[in-house]
């Protein structure tokens, strides 16, 4: 719970610093955005576009289950494309790949170590044209190398970001 509060405080401070710029933006495109990602693993997400169709998405992840807790930094390279079959301003789909590095701790034994993963992503991205808000819904399959090796397909997440 303490980590969630710290993440929320950091996001609010950052939003406050950039708020003047963010709330004046009315467009269906954006270059940078920060917010939260909610799903199996919750965290903070920061997306930065390199050009019109390529972006880097950094996610600071917090995840726990009965056996262990993981704190991980993910980096994803994403390629954005327009959605051609509907006429919705600000709507794109994207795909990409990346990896994660962090730490884990087993709850029963206090054993800890490095958490490594390779990640993919596919989803839809919507920038609300009249507000400084970006929404993304994606699926992020993960190949965990540690702590429990295997492929996970349960990585559906919703990101809500403030655009600046």
Q: What is the pLDDT of residues 25-55, one digit of tens each?
A: 456 789 999 999 999 889 999 999 999 999 9
**Does position 18 have pLDDT exceeding 90, yes or no?**
no
Contacts 24+ apart (CB under 8 A), 3-11: 3/62, 3/71, 4/42, 4/62, 7/36, 7/43, 7/44, 7/60, 7/62, 10/44, 11/35, 11/36, 11/44
DSSP label at residue 107: T
Ordered alpha helix ranges (H), the chain: 2-22
Architecture of domain 2-163: Beta Barrel (2.40)
Residue 80 belongs to what H/E stretch? strand 68-82
- Domain boundaries along the sequence of the chain: 2-163
Count the alpha carbons within 13 Å of 22 in the hemisphere toward its beta carbon: 20
What pLDDT, in 10s, does the model give residues 111-128? 899 999 999 999 999 999
pLDDT given for residue 95 in this prediction? 98
Averaged pLDDT, 135-146: 95
pLDDT of 14: 52
| Other CB atoms within 10 A of residue 41 CB | 22
């Amino acid at each position: 719970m303490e980590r969630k509060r710290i993440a929320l405080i950091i996001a609010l401070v950052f939003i406050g610093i950039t708020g003047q710029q963010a709330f004046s933006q009315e467009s269906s495109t954006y270059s940078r955005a920060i917010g939260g990602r909610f799903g199996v693993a919750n965290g903070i997400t920061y997306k930065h576009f390199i050009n019109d169709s390529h972006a880097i998405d950094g996610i600071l992840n917090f995840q726990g289950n009965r056996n262990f807790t993981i704190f991980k930094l993910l980096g994803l390279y994403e390629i954005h494309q327009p959605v051609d079959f509907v006429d919705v301003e600000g709507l794109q789909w994207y795909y990409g790949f990346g990896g994660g590095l962090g730490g884990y701790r087993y709850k029963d034994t206090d054993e800890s170590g490095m958490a490594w993963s390779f990640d993919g992503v596919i989803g839809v991205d919507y920038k609300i044209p009249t507000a400084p808000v970006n929404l993304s819904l994606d699926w992020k399959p993960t190949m965990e190398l540690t702590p429990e090796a295997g492929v996970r397909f349960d990585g559906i997440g919703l990101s809500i970001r403030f655009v600046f």
